[in-house]
Amino acid sequence: MPGTLIIAESSGGAAAPVALELLAAARALAEQGGGAVSALAAGDAALGRTLIEHGADAVYLTPAGSLDAGFAETAAAAALATREAADADIVLMGQTSLGRDLAPLMAFRLGTAAAMDCMALTLADGRLRATRSCYGGNANAEVTWRGETQIATLKLKAWDALAPDAGRDGPVTAIEATGEQRVRVIATEAAEASGVRLEDADVVVSGGRGLGDPAAFGALEELARMLGGATGASRAACDLGWYPPSQQVGLTGKTVTPNLYIAVAISGASQHMAGMSGSKNIVAINRDPDANMVQVARFAVVEDYKKIVPALIEAIKKLD
Amino acid sequence: MNIVVCVKQIPDPETPASQFAVDEAAKRVIPAQGIAPVVNPYDPQATEAALRLKDAAGEGRITVVSLGADSARDAIKHALAMGADEGVLLSDPAFENIDSFQTAVALAKAIEKIGDCDLVLMGRAAADWDMGVAPQGVAELLGVPAVTIAKSMTADGSTLTVERVLDDGFQMVEVDLPAVVSISNEFGEPRYPQLRQIMLAAKKTVQVWSAEDLGLEAGETGEANRWLPLEALYIPTVESNVEIIEGDSPEEQAHTLALKLREAKLI
């Protein structure tokens, strides 16, 4: 019975959160008859042990750094060798900087397909079926594979990691692989944090074309500051020059997943939804009760934002 | 430096969700009434990147390639109006509803047929299917390296230095040409076609190549031969659990909302 291989990324020697999510997804497939779960990781035996405890049946180790972003060619050599060694016909990885490159690279080398950013997986008669979002979140597609090996990247935070089980055991072995790395990495640097980064903010307050006035962003900024959050804008608002493009949320801007997203005068076109649909709680302030944003929100106020936003700022002040 | 830029015409991602419709039986999106398709929003940046490299090199030819229906001509015309030199439209009934992998095969064949290409540029993904696999695919099929999600780049002879956008930072890489590079939306504002350019663009040639012209076999094209068969396409049911905050005045509504947010520990 062929099994599942996951590509377990790590940071500073510790398993990345997505690695544990992948193990949870792979274990769910194993329960549907998917065979053993193997993991490929770049690091030492302690990292291998963590992966075993979180659901791997076997771990293959490659030198630290060989699964880093930018090293897709090196990673592909290791992943292809591991796929052979582990007899895996399903290969899962995260929709990360590495996964976005590695999945299609492996796929084309094997003459098979990779489904990107999947949010659900099922197994039927030993074959994988994946659900992914497309058209900026307006539609879902379900896909299968024609080729034998089924490669998929998984949406981040779409699976919950399993609790570690110290009683689990399995082999941790080194895998030898060499691949030509034609892309030469010169330097990698973390993004600078200035104030609250939009992508990291717990609270995001965004405005759209419906504001009708660039000055309105002042009130949104005040609200965001009070809540310790960041301010964003829809593409329409940025295109009008009302707000810096660096703060654009959406398909062609930033992707945010805050705990609270307050959408002010934003209708919710897929261009925008693509950048914020991962928000845990959405509040819509919009005059149109039929606006898409109102429909997807947890709370909505159907009223002119000019009346609501200042009142909300006052109301929150009084809470403290 | 000879550059090929791949562009795509897609349904407008600004289409309101209320006007977005799917034919579930045919597994196709039904074009929204009165909303014209647009150039994939990432692609003008790829054309811009090509123009900047050509300007810096002081010579070269930029060929724009698009696979799609006849309407994809507009995406080519847009790039020509920005300053690209010539266009090729890959159009054939056998290309209808093919997937990103088959598209990469057709693009790679077209790039080989164009010949003498130093660099292939494309947007980081097409915003309709949002797969982003074509850059790696075309590179692998051409036997050259790929660098994805570039925010800036410079060429020095046959070496390209590229700044990439990562999930949590940036990365500088070098690669020898020929190569494939995908361009991020962070690349910078694409130039706006000027009237004179638009008029010049009308005179530029757009060749049309079929599957046969590319030497593609019947088994390589067509919906039936997708590498990633599409089993279902549907609009997800949004369980609208929205709680509309009522009140006699905006102040009361705002107060109620603040209380609800506090109760839910969101503020």
Q: What is the pLDDT of residues B206-217, one digit of tens each?
A: 999 999 999 999
- What's residue A255's pLDDT? 82
Residues of chain A contacting residue B166, judged by C-beta atoms under 8 Å apart: 69-70, 97, 188
Beta bridge partners of A4: A37, A90
Minimal CA–CA distance to A92: which of A123, A63, A118?
A118
Cα–Cα distance, B250 to B256 (Å, whole number)? 10
- What's residue B169's pLDDT? 84
- What's residue B189's pLDDT? 85
Say yes or no to pLDDT of B238 above 90: no
Residue numbers of A between 5 and 64 with CB closer than 8 Å to B: none
Cα–Cα distance, A113 to A111 (Å, whole number)? 7
Between chains, do B131 and A236 touch, taking CB under 8 Å as contact?
no
Angle made by CA atoms B35, B36, B40, in degrees to the nearest 5: 115
Mean pLDDT of A184-211: 86
Chain B residue at shortest CA distance from A183: B175
> What is the C-alpha radius of gyration for chain B, rounded to an integer number of angstroms?
22
| A55 exposure class (CB count in 10 Å sphere: 0-12, 13-18, 19+) | buried
Q: How confident is the model at residue A230 (pLDDT cuts 50, 70, 90)?
A: very high
DSSP code, position A218: H
- What's residue A73's pLDDT? 98
Q: Are A287 and A266 in contact (CB under 8 A)?
A: no
A318 residue type, one letter: K
Mean pLDDT of B40-48: 95
Angle made by CA atoms A16, B124, A6, in degrees to the nearest 5: 30
CA dihedral sign, ordered A43, A45, A50, A55: positive
Cα–Cα distance, B102 to B131 (Å, whole number)? 13
Say yes or no to pLDDT of A193 above 70: no
Q: How confident is the model at residue A74 (pLDDT cuts 50, 70, 90)?
A: very high
- What's residue B14's pLDDT? 81
Beta bridge partners of A90: A4, A150
Mean pLDDT of B38-53: 96
Q: How many residues does chain B have?
A: 267
Say yes or no to pLDDT of A142 above 70: yes
For A231-295, the DSSP string reads: EEE-HHHHHTTSS-GGGBBSTTSB----SEEEEES----HHHHHHHTT-SEEEEE-S-TT-HHHH
Cα–Cα distance, A276 to A255 (Å, whole number)? 6
Mean pLDDT of B236-245: 88
Minimum distance, in Å, between the CA of residue B214 and any CA atom of chain A: 19
Give residue-wise pLDDT tens across range A256-273.
889 999 999 999 988 898
What mean pLDDT is reported for chain A? 94
pTM (two decimals): 0.89
Say yes or no to pLDDT of A1 above 80: no
Say yes or no to pLDDT of A192 above 70: no
- What's residue A195's pLDDT? 58
Say yes or no to pLDDT of A197 above 90: no
- What's residue B164's pLDDT? 96
For B259, the 3-state DSSP assignment is helix
**For residue B217, how many other CB atoms are within 10 A of its CB?**
9
Cα–Cα distance, B253 to B267 (Å, whole number)? 16
- What's residue B18's pLDDT? 81
| B17 part of contact set with chain A, CB < 8 Å | yes
Say yes or no to pLDDT of A139 above 60: yes
Q: How confident is the model at residue A278 (pLDDT cuts 50, 70, 90)?
A: confident
Between chains, do A113 and B230 touch, taking CB under 8 Å as contact?
no
Mean pLDDT of B56-79: 96
What mean pLDDT is reported for chain B? 95
Most A CBs within 10 A among B228, B239, B256, hence the mutation to make, goes to B228
Say yes or no to pLDDT of B180 above 80: yes
| A195 exposure class (CB count in 10 Å sphere: 0-12, 13-18, 19+) | exposed
Higher pLDDT, B222 or B13: B222
Mean pLDDT of B141-148: 98
Between chains, do B172 and A186 touch, taking CB under 8 Å as contact?
yes
Is the preceding peptide bond at B178 cis, omega within 30 degrees of 0?
yes
- What's residue A254's pLDDT? 83
Residue numbers of A between 159 and 218 with CB closer than 8 Å to B: 182-191, 203
Between chains, do B257 and A315 touch, taking CB under 8 Å as contact?
yes
Q: How confident is the model at residue A190 (pLDDT cuts 50, 70, 90)?
A: confident
Place of tokens 């980064």: A197
For A38, the 3-state DSSP assignment is strand
Q: Are A68 and A11 in contact (CB under 8 A)?
A: no
- What's residue B15's pLDDT? 83
Question: Which range has the worst mean pLDDT, B33-42, B101-110, B136-145?
Answer: B33-42
- For residue A131, give the H/E element and its range: strand A127-134
Cα–Cα distance, A15 to B76 (Å, whole number)? 45
Higher pLDDT, B13 or A46: A46
Is the preceding peptide bond at A104 cis, omega within 30 degrees of 0?
no
Give residue-wise pLDDT tens across range A33-43.
999 999 999 99
Q: Are B39 and B11 in contact (CB under 8 A)?
A: no
In this predicted complex, what is the ipTM?
0.93
Question: Which range has the worst mean pLDDT, A195-199, A246-250, B114-118?
Answer: A195-199
A92 residue type, one letter: L
Counting one residue from A and one from B, how many pairs have CB atoms under 8 Å apart? 253
Percent over 70 (pLDDT), chain A: 98
For A117, the 3-state DSSP assignment is strand
Mean pLDDT of A146-166: 94
